[in-house]
Structure 1
Amino acid sequence: MDLLKTVFGIDVSSRKSNVCIMVNDQKVNDYAISNDMVGFNQLLDDLKQVTNPQIIFEATGVYSRRLQAFLNMHELRYVMMNPLEAKRKTKDDLHQNKTDKLDAMYLAKLQSEHPQRLAYVQSEEYQELMANNRIYEQASHDLITNKNRLHKAIQLTFPEIEHVMATPRGKNYWSIVLRFPHPDIVLETKEADIIDFLKSLSGIGKKRANDIMQKLIRLAKVACPAVKKDSAYVHGLKIAINNILSAEEECQTALQEMAKLAPKRDLEILTSIPGIGENTALRIISELGDIRRFKNPNQLNAFVGVDPQVYESGNLTAHLSISKRGTAIGRKVLYLAINQIQSAKKAGNPCHIADYYEKRKRSSETASHKKAAIASIHKLLRTIFALIKNDQLYSYDVAKHNQRLLS
């Protein structure tokens, strides 16, 4: 029987990883490996020399993904720590210096003295779901950035064009601005050519094209641009619009891929909650993964990072802010879902989560929307957990009945 407890603490950076090996709480070796097949095989050789090696490293985004994939390929279990959680659990050592070698040692020491839970390995489908959601998140960020960039550029080139359509957004509007970014370009173009261009856009017929053309010319005649039509600002405006169109396409493609991969029953259950549409449901599933793997809703709360931090000293026990040790994007999507649930109630679709939000707001005059929303996220996660575990669609009457039983 092997009584040796061997821990491999690994600090992963962009090009290399530092490895610290501890046996029965004593450091026996440390070295650096390259983050490629040569380095990982060097690590594998050492792992094979040990019975039941314990492996611990921080989730450092794209850098740790290659190590994670290599360990999965060889069916090796590991602990993957959230960096914030790892920092909290190792800060008691009060080490003044910070080096990659020391970080690897402190991870190994943490696992030796206080064993952490092994990471759950998601199926490939759920990994692809999350990857597509991250693409969607980045594209959404790019969309907002370029919309702001476009608005600023238009104020210099042709601000009046923002009134050419009922709402200054959408593919047709952006296509019009891309074609006519400056009033001089409008006035230099024949009316028939403007109409032909407008008719080429989706949903615009001959009559509407003529109306938009006349309005566009009127706006161009009264415009007083700050720059000329060949200005760099006009060029920047065109870049922003092309980026917007590209980002919108990326968002739609990512959502389509998520729709193919997401479990249909889970999607049906989540969209049964008033206010949660298909896009939001897809993003929630992508971030939470297979909810059935959690034993209770508290584990789900901890995974998302909305569980409270607890500080204990003597007879004092204080509940601090949320831990934030889970996925920030997941918390963002759930926060969005709470806002949508609130809007649905105002539109006549009641939900006990919206009731709970309003109750929290009424309970304290100083309660902010953010605090009430975070408390409501707890309620939403418990609801999602119960519905999926029991394979049930949402019912407001059933939810209210259950609330009365618990109160």
Structure 2
Amino acid sequence: MTTTSLTADIVIGLDVGKTHHYAWVIDTQCKCLYKGKINQDQQSLTKLYTKAQRFGDTVMLVVDQPNNIGAFAVEVARQQGLQLGYLTGTRMRHASRLHAGNSKTDPKDAQIIAETAMRMPQSLQPVAHTEDAMQQLSILNGQIEDLIRTRTAYINRIRVTLLVICPILERFFAGKTLSAQWVKALILHYNSPQAIVRAGEKRLTRFLERNCPTVRNKPDKAHNLITAIASQTITMPHTEARWRSVQSYLELITHINDEIQQLQEEAEALAATMPEYQILLSMPGVGPKTAQTIIMCVGDLRDFHTPAELASYAGICPVTRQSGTSIKGEHVNRSGNKRLKNALWYSAFASIKSHERSRTYYQGKRDAGKRHNAAVMCLARRRTNVIFAMLKNHTFYDDHYKATGTIAEHPPQQAAA
């Protein structure tokens, strides 16, 4: 992402906290004008900003966390007309090494933030003001991610419990089999693995026919499941109690899946109102989830001036390392916005199957000796140029752009995510 070009007469370095912050106010000579603890409320923050505005005409607030616990302080500053800057955690750690001592305190962190912002403004990142719809989309996707993590934790807990009850049963439900509808129906209906065996293959098959009519090979599934459970003759203590916990987790997972589905529908309906969303969907390999991720990470690209800056922010371009003659070359970029990087990589991978030009470019990189992942990353970097041009020019994707010299506007096509 581009670094901020903002300059200010007064800088407020704010080390944010849950209940209070610590402020360090300096002028252009890095002279401390004010320092102290500030409560996390509107009155205290407004008083601090008003006091700083008396020292100079242009005041900039710089924080180390612009979201979560620092979001309120940032919004109060925005409402009061202050410039805003963000010093990332990595850059702050590097800057702290230039100061004497190894201690880490709130006053020292606030001082480091303020002095780094004043002396090296190019190290700051802007705190973008996102549109209302984009904020709502970000909130919805944050909820979805939290629910997915919770669901994964429940699934892992089920697997641990099954390993205690019947290890072979856990292996039988490998991968996504545990999430299958027929597996959930059986586990919720019977009160133990032994009860499944006692039911027998015919009764189990009839149960699946009544409750899971779309499942194929029902007799085979019933036979294989009973065979797997019956191969263990030892019954672990408290099996039924552990089995009830498995049933409880499965019921919670079912509710979570319903919530995720509802939130995804809301997010897709909200994203459909954004012009950037429709533009991104017109590109092969970009589906609803990928388009939403790109929008949330980069917005309308107002913070980026070139495709190279966007690629650098995403971490999909190589990093040059050089020192004399001993170290020289291009290396894999391990930094960048991981969510954006994954979205661009997976969309490039999807385009290989559905888009001829992408497939040709990928195959050319493979023929040049690159491995699969590296070739896909090269394709993602090339596609970043196209995405940048589409969003900047507000134009839909056109495969014949080079041939015609123009990008024709046409209805966006749904592509595989």
Same fold (TM over 0.5): yes
Moved more, 126-135 or 92-101: 92-101
Following superposition, the deviation at residue 333 of structure 1 comes to: 2.8
Query: In the superposition, relative to structure 1, how do residues 340 and 20 fare at CA in structure 2: closer, same or farther (>3 Å)?
Result: same
Q: Kindly report which structure 2 residues correspond to 1:140-219, keeping only aligned pairs within 5 A, or say none.
A: 140-157=148-165, 159-160=168-169, 162=172, 167-180=177-190, 182-187=192-197, 198=208, 201=211, 204=214
1:12 to 2:16 alignment: yes
Map of 1:253 onto structure 2: 262
Q: Which runs of 5+ in 2 are unaligned?
A: 1-6, 406-417
Task: Compute the RMSD of aligned alpha carbons.
Answer: 4.1
* Residue 110 (structure 1) aligned to one of 109, 116, 121: 116
User: What secondary structure is seen at the aligned counterpart in 2 of 1:291?
Assistant: coil
AA partner of residue 29 (structure 1): Y
Using the alignment, how far apart are the partners of 1:35 and 1:144 within structure 2? 34
Q: 8 Å contact 1:130–1:287 — kept in the other structure?
A: no
1:388 to 2:397 alignment: no
Query: In the superposition, relative to structure 1, how do residues 13 and 322 fare at CA in structure 2: closer, same or farther (>3 Å)?
Result: farther
Map of 2:280 onto structure 1: 270
Using the alignment, how far apart are the partners of 2:362 and 2:104 within structure 1? 43
1:227 to 2:232 alignment: no
- What per-residue deviation string (whole Å, max 9, x for no partner) do you get for residues 7-28 of structure 1? 1111113332111111122222
Q: Kindly report which structure 2 residues correspond to 1:2-151, keeping only aligned pairs within 5 A, or say none.
A: 5-25=9-29, 26-49=31-54, 50-59=56-65, 61-88=67-94, 91-93=97-99, 96-115=102-121, 116=124, 118-151=126-159
Moved more, 62-71 or 241-250: 241-250
Query: In the superposition, relative to structure 1, how do residues 377 and 204 fare at CA in structure 2: closer, same or farther (>3 Å)?
Result: closer
Q: TM-score by structure 1 length?
A: 0.77
Q: Kindly report which structure 2 residues correspond to 1:331-346, keeping only aligned pairs within 5 A, or say none.
A: 331-342=341-352, 344-345=353-354
User: What secondary structure is seen at the aligned counterpart in 2 of 1:55?
Assistant: strand
Query: In the superposition, relative to structure 1, how do residues 52 and 301 fare at CA in structure 2: closer, same or farther (>3 Å)?
Result: same
AA partner of residue 81 (structure 1): L
Map of 1:378 onto structure 2: 381
Query: In the superposition, relative to structure 1, how do residues 118 and 144 fare at CA in structure 2: closer, same or farther (>3 Å)?
Result: closer
User: What secondary structure is seen at the aligned counterpart in 1 of 2:356?
Assistant: coil
Q: TM-score by structure 2 length?
A: 0.76
* Residue 295 (structure 1) aligned to one of 287, 305, 313: 305
- What per-residue deviation string (whole Å, max 9, x for no partner) do you get for residues 330-351 of structure 1? 2233333333334x25xxx424
Following superposition, the deviation at residue 117 of structure 1 comes to: 5.3
Q: What is the identity percentage for the equivalent residue pairs of Structure 1 and Structure 2?
A: 18
Using the alignment, how far apart are the partners of 1:94 and 1:313 within structure 2? 27
Using the alignment, how far apart are the partners of 1:360 and 1:27 within structure 2? 55
Moved more, 244-253 or 221-230: 221-230
AA partner of residue 135 (structure 2): Q
AA partner of residue 322 (structure 1): N
Query: In the superposition, relative to structure 1, how do residues 157 and 204 fare at CA in structure 2: closer, same or farther (>3 Å)?
Result: farther
Q: 8 Å contact 1:16–1:35 — kept in the other structure?
A: yes
Using the alignment, how far apart are the partners of 1:339 and 1:225 within structure 2? 47
Using the alignment, how far apart are the partners of 1:292 and 1:337 within structure 2? 23
AA partner of residue 257 (structure 2): E
Count, aligned residues: 391
User: What secondary structure is seen at the aligned counterpart in 1 of 2:34?
Assistant: strand
Q: 8 Å contact 2:276–2:391 — kept in the other structure?
A: yes
* Residue 251 (structure 2) aligned to one of 238, 242, 263: 242
- What per-residue deviation string (whole Å, max 9, x for no partner) do you get for residues 214-266 of structure 1? 77666655554652564553244234423432442343233222212214543
Q: Which runs of 5+ in 1 are unaligned?
A: 403-407
AA partner of residue 261 (structure 2): Q
Using the alignment, how far apart are the partners of 2:380 and 2:289 within structure 1? 18
Using the alignment, how far apart are the partners of 2:305 and 2:163 within structure 1? 55
Query: In the superposition, relative to structure 1, how do residues 381 and 194 fare at CA in structure 2: closer, same or farther (>3 Å)?
Result: same
Following superposition, the deviation at residue 371 of structure 1 comes to: 4.2
Using the alignment, how far apart are the partners of 1:94 and 1:14 within structure 2? 27
AA partner of residue 258 (structure 2): E
Using the alignment, how far apart are the partners of 1:390 and 1:204 within structure 2? 47
Using the alignment, how far apart are the partners of 2:126 and 2:173 within structure 1? 57
Map of 1:405 onto structure 2: none
Map of 1:283 onto structure 2: 293
Q: 8 Å contact 2:87–2:125 — kept in the other structure?
A: no
Q: 8 Å contact 2:25–2:52 — kept in the other structure?
A: no
